[in-house]
């Protein structure tokens, strides 16, 4: 079989659609190569070879042979020879998985150098400093990636040398310095590893390929996969590519650019570069890079020379190429480039990571520019990413004591206690403490700490630094390159001006402005802009599934309507009972010893409920409002504290003992399967008749006030058709009586949340105007899994792949989903008019929404903030 794919001007075997086999980087290198773009030639060893290698920990003969053949092609394409001769070929060995895992795995540059080839390179380039700079870089990377030495050991030797020479930058070191450095490096490596640095380039190459394959399973790659749900059996490809040199002199450079602004999506070509530098220098934050053009400038680099000014020809070429790439890929690109002796090379392109706000703007603009269709634009955004847009920002009216300003690397506002180490961030977060991770700069080892933090602050690094890229991907606020702060992570302090901050002090970051603020500043909810409205209108145009919201009060209802809710799918009336001035009346009702006493207590609650319903009807004017009658067991409303019991005894004028006995009597061992839902309605019909009276009166009064009301009255926890038919009769009679001769339209239906109800849906449907699937309880009762306690072992179930995911988060389509589908079909057969929706947490989860669309439900209902997510997911389900 085929393990190796070449890419070069002469011969390219892969393309952009082969990401699974070639990895994202390899597939795109092949694609760019076949488009005729300036890409150094090379070859990709496939992900399948990685999996094969993982099994046997060795390379099979086919792989070896194919690598050697591909290597010859690179030699003939470049006219250089690997491992000898007077024009030595050097390679970069680069990892590349299916999806980009920025900085998660390792790269080795300048491979093929040894004491002989370095001399040849020096002679050929007529640049001794360059040759030895490349050699010391190679040894540094190789020792770390392949020989497993810590980064810091050789790095600190370099730092010491710079200090001894009194220079602040690598560019000020000369050939002699690098020659010495190489000697010292080799000694340290021999001491530390007990091995000699390998001199045979072929051996260097194989060990490097092996190391990249091995790096797929290093701890930080595993952590990244966990955080991003990437399967462990995908493997990584290895790209072996001819080196081009950005470190050959002042007519050389290396850089990273985005075809649009990744923070806000504006159509601005945007990027950073370094003269006379190589590879990771730009992203590692070792030297702070310069802007490539005027619009990439920020406050701290305003005076620096742009690439456009410094190398106008190469810049013009880069401009031409980025436009081609964007049109070709139909998306914003993140491009890595290197300029060798004024000649531009592209080393990587991929769809750029971006904030949700940027993603939205880019999708809308690309459609307007005719690059993508509406459908393609809608598919560009992960519905979950909209979450970020709906997130808090700083209250503009709050006073803020700005202590420093860095780069606005990832928008959003976050406040918390300062921590200086990632593991502290993780452990404090686990204890419920909000933290801000403050670092000199971040590295891939900080991933878990960044995920745990509210926001991230770094003292060094640019807009494309590790911290910035990762934070944007996570949707976390980040202020990067804030050079005014002095971070001393060893002593856990941060100094700004003459003030010292210690671990545990509160700060607030505004990732949209780069401000670092003392203390905890209040935040405000997000605003919806014109792009958002336009994009969501496309989603609404395409989707067929309606989206409602779960809201229990007028304020939440208003928020949801603002986010595009088309009705309320679930209004839980019991939440209205817990308000302090109402709970006493509720308890009086529970402890009543006669129907008439119970009715007396319920009468007190009626006006409250009526007002709440009127508020909700008003917010939803003309849209359906599904109101669920009382559902939880009475047990949940009982007083627990002695004080509360005394208060209640006094309120209803009985002995404390009576209350205590009552509590005992009402206690249930398994209340969630107990005296609740329609079972309360059957045993205490006066509760439901009071609620229905309140609904009817609220509706009539609202109609008089000019509000269009469409109530749907929902009876919970029905198991049998009989329960529903009994209650329907009672409630219809109540409504008829309350409304007298007034016009009033309503629907009466049920929740399907017990397996028995789903199985007998045909019978139940003859008494119902609608079904609403309560998939939280339906999941609990179908699995026999307590939703309040299952967390303890569910995580283990998921990590051991017993279950593919948490069934309370993403609907179990085979089991619970089957019941939903079955009941919908049965219900519709028995009652053609029946209206069907879902109101569990699943109503806001994209995969579950896709399922609901496929089985033909009428609507999903979810929490207000998830309404836009559901609207987009419903549109994507159609496309």
Residues that bind ligand ADP (CB under 6 A): 40, 92, 94, 103, 107, 109, 241-244, 254, 279-280, 336, 338, 347-348
Closest CA to 755 of 722, 788, 721, 719: 719
Output 63 or 242, the one with its CB closest to ligand ADP.
Answer: 242
Residue of 50, 839, 852, 862 marked active site:
839
Q: Give the sign of the dihedral formed by CA 230, CA 867, CA 809, CA 426.
A: positive
Which option in ligand ADP, Mg ion, none does residue 777 bind, with CB closer than 5 to 8 A by kind? Mg ion
Angstrom distance (rounded) from CA 625 to CA 571: 8
Angstrom distance (rounded) from CA 241 to CA 232: 26
Which option in Mg ion, ligand ADP, none does residue 774 bind, with CB closer than 5 to 8 A by kind? Mg ion
- How distant is the alpha carbon of residue 341 from its chain centre? 41
Angstrom distance (rounded) from CA 451 to CA 224: 10
Which option in Mg ion, ligand ADP, none does residue 782 bind, with CB closer than 5 to 8 A by kind? none
Angstrom distance (rounded) from CA 564 to CA 872: 11
Question: Under a CB-based contact definition with an 8 Å cutoff, are residues 145 and 215 in contact?
Answer: yes
Closest CA to 436 of 413, 410, 456, 461: 456
The least CB distance from residue 525 to Mg ion, in Å, is 29
Which option in Mg ion, ligand ADP, none does residue 279 bind, with CB closer than 5 to 8 A by kind? ligand ADP
Output 94 or 374, the one with its CB closest to ligand ADP.
Answer: 94
Closest CA to 134 of 84, 103, 170, 94: 170
Angstrom distance (rounded) from CA 717 to CA 757: 9
The least CB distance from residue 621 to ligand ADP, in Å, is 53
The least CB distance from residue 485 to Mg ion, in Å, is 28
Binding mask 737-756 for Mg ion (x = CB under 5 A): ----------------x---
Could you write out the DSSP letters of every residue in 751-762?
A: EE-SHHHHHTHH
The least CB distance from residue 272 to ligand ADP, in Å, is 12
The least CB distance from residue 785 to ligand ADP, in Å, is 41
CB atoms within 10 A of CB 495: 13
Which option in Mg ion, ligand ADP, none does residue 261 bind, with CB closer than 5 to 8 A by kind? none
Cα–Cα–Cα angle for 431, 433, 438, nearest 5°? 120
The least CB distance from residue 781 to Mg ion, in Å, is 9
- 579 token code pair: 């308000």
Closest CA to 248 of 140, 345, 385: 345
Which option in ligand ADP, Mg ion, none does residue 109 bind, with CB closer than 5 to 8 A by kind? ligand ADP
Angstrom distance (rounded) from CA 565 to CA 551: 10
Which option in Mg ion, ligand ADP, none does residue 734 bind, with CB closer than 5 to 8 A by kind? none
What SS3 class is residue 668? Answer: coil
Residue of 391, 429, 466, 835 marked active site:
466
Output 109 or 619, the one with its CB closest to ligand ADP.
Answer: 109
Binding mask 332-361 for Mg ion (x = CB under 5 A): ----x-----------x-------------
Residues in a beta bridge with 572 = 628
The angle that helices 128-145 and 201-215 make with each other, rounded to 10 degrees, is 50
Q: φ and ψ at 747, to 5 degrees?
A: -125, 150
Output 245 or 577, the one with its CB closest to ligand ADP.
Answer: 245
The least CB distance from residue 676 to Mg ion, in Å, is 9
**Residue 626 lies near Mg ion (rule: CB under 5 A):** no
- 213 token code pair: 């394959």
Closest CA to 247 of 335, 161, 134: 134
Which option in Mg ion, ligand ADP, none does residue 807 bind, with CB closer than 5 to 8 A by kind? none
Output 170 or 336, the one with its CB closest to Mg ion.
Answer: 336
Total residues contacting Mg ion (rule CB under 5 A)? 5
Q: φ and ψ at 417, to 5 degrees?
A: -85, 140
Angstrom distance (rounded) from CA 574 to CA 716: 12
Output 348 or 559, the one with its CB closest to Mg ion.
Answer: 348
Output 463 or 560, the one with its CB closest to ligand ADP.
Answer: 463
- Strand runs (DSSP E) across 232-364, as ranges? 237-242, 253-258, 270-275, 290-291, 333-340, 343-351
Output 47 or 557, the one with its CB closest to ligand ADP.
Answer: 47
Residues 753-792 that bind Mg ion (CB under 5 A): 753, 774, 777
Output 336 or 612, the one with its CB closest to Mg ion.
Answer: 336
839 is annotated as an active-site residue: yes
How far, CA to CA in Å, does 342 sit from each of 306, 311, 316, 829?
15, 7, 12, 73
The least CB distance from residue 334 to Mg ion, in Å, is 9
Which option in Mg ion, ligand ADP, none does residue 280 bind, with CB closer than 5 to 8 A by kind? ligand ADP
The least CB distance from residue 248 to ligand ADP, in Å, is 11
| Residues that bind Mg ion in the complex, under the rule CB under 5 A | 336, 348, 753, 774, 777
Residues with catalytic function: 466, 839
């Amino acid at each position: 079989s085929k393990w190796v794919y070449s890419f070069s001007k002469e011969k390219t075997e892969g393309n952009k659609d082969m990401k699974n086999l070639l990895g994202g980087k390899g597939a795109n290198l092949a694609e760019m190569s076949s488009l005729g773009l300036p890409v150094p030639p090379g070859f990709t060893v496939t992900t399948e070879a990685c999996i094969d290698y993982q099994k046997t920990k060795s390379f099979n003969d086919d792989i070896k042979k194919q690598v050697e053949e591909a290597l010859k092609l690179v030699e003939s394409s470049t006219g250089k020879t690997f491992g000898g001769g007077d024009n030595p070929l050097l390679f970069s060995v680069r990892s590349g998985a299916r999806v980009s895992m920025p900085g998660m795995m390792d790269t080795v540059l300048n491979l093929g150098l040894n004491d002989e080839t370095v001399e040849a390179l020096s002679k050929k380039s007529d640049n001794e400093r360059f040759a030895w700079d490349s050699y010391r870089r190679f040894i540094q990377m190789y020792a770390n990636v392949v020989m497993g030495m810590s980064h810091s050991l050789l790095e600190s030797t370099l730092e010491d040398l710079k200090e001894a020479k009194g220079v602040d930058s690598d560019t000020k070191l000369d050939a002699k310095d690098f020659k010495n450095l190489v000697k010292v490096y080799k000694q340290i490596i021999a001491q530390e590893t007990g091995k000699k640095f390998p001199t045979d380039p072929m051996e260097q190459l194989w060990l490097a390929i092996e190391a990249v394959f091995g790096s797929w399973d290093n701890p930080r790659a595993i952590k990244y996969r966990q955080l991003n749900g990437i399967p462990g059996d995908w493997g990584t490809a290895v790209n072996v590519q001819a080196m081009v040199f950005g470190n050959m002199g002042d007519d050389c450079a290396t850089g990273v650019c985005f075809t649009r602004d990744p923070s806000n999506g504006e159509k601005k070509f945007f990027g950073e570069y370094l003269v006379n530098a190589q590879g990771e220098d730009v992203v590692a934050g070792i030297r702070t890079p310069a802007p490539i053009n005027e619009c990439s400038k920020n406050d701290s680099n305003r005076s620096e020379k742009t690439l456009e000014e410094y190398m106008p020809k190469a810049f013009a070429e880069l401009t031409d190429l980025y436009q081609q790439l964007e049109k070709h890929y139909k998306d914003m690109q993140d491009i890595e480039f290197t300029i060798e002796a004024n000649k531009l090379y592209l080393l990587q392109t991929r769809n750029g990571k971006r904030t949700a706000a940027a993603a939205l703007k880019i999708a809308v603009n690309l459609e307007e520019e005719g690059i993508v269709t509406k459908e393609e634009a809608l598919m560009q955004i992960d519905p979950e990413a909209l979450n970020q847009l709906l997130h808090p920002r700083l209250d503009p009216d709050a006073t803020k004591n700005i202590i420093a300003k860095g780069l606005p690397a990832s928008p959003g506002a976050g406040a918390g206690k300062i921590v200086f180490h990632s593991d502290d961030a993780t452990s404090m977060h686990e204890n419920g403490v909000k933290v801000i991770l403050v670092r000199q700069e971040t590295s891939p080892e900080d991933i878990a700490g960044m995920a745990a933090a509210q926001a991230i602050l770094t003292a060094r690094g640019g807009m494309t630094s590790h911290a910035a890229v990762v934070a944007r991907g996570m949707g976390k606020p980040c202020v990067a390159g804030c050079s005014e702060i002095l971070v001393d992570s060893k002593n856990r302090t941060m100094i700004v001006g003459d003030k010292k901050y210690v671990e545990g002090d509160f700060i607030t970051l505004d990732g949209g402005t780069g401000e670092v603020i003392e203390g905890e500043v209040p935040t405000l909810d997000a605003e919806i802009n014109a792009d958002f409205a336009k994009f969501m209108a496309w989603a609404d145009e395409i989707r067929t599934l309606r989206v409602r919201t779960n809201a229990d009060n007028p304020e939440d209802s208003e928020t949801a309507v603002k986010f595009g809710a088309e009705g309320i799918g679930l209004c839980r009336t019991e939440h209205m009972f817990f308000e302090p001035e109402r709970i006493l009346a509720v308890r009086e009702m529970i402890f009543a010893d006669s129907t008439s006493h119970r009715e007396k207590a319920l009468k007190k609650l009626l006006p409250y409920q009526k007002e709440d319903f009127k508020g909700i009807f008003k917010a939803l004017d003309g849209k359906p409002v599904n109101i669920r009658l009382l559902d939880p067991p009475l047990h949940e409303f009982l007083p627990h504290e002695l004080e509360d019991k005394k208060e209640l005894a006094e309120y209803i004028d009985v002995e404390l003992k009576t209350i205590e006995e009552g509590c005992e009597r009402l206690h249930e061992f398994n209340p969630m399967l107990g005296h609740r839902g329609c079972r309360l309605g059957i045993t205490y019909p006066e509760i439901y008749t009071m609620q229905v009276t309140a609904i009817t009166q609220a509706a009539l009064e609202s109609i008089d006030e000019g509000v269009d009301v469409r109530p749907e009255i929902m009876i919970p926890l029905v198991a049998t058709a009989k329960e529903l038919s009994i209650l329907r009769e009672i409630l219809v009679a109540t409504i008829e009586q309350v409304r007298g001769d007034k016009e009033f339209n309503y629907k009466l239906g049920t929740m399907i949340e017990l397996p028995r109800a789903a199985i007998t849906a045909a019978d139940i449907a003859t008494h119902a105007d609608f079904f609403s699937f309560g998939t939280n309880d339906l999941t609990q009762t179908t699995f026999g899994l307590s939703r309040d306690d299952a967390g303890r072992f569910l995580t283990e179930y998921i990590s051991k792949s017993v279950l593919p995911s948490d069934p309370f988060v993403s609907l179990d389509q085979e089991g619970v989903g089957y019941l939903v589908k079955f009941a919908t079909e049965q219900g519709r057969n028995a009652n053609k008019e029946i209206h069907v929706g879902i109101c569990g947490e699943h109503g806001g989860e994209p995969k579950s929404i896709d399922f609901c669309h496929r089985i033909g439900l009428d609507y999903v209902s979810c929490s207000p903030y998830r309404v836009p997510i559901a609207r987009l997911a419903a549109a994507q389900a159609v496309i």
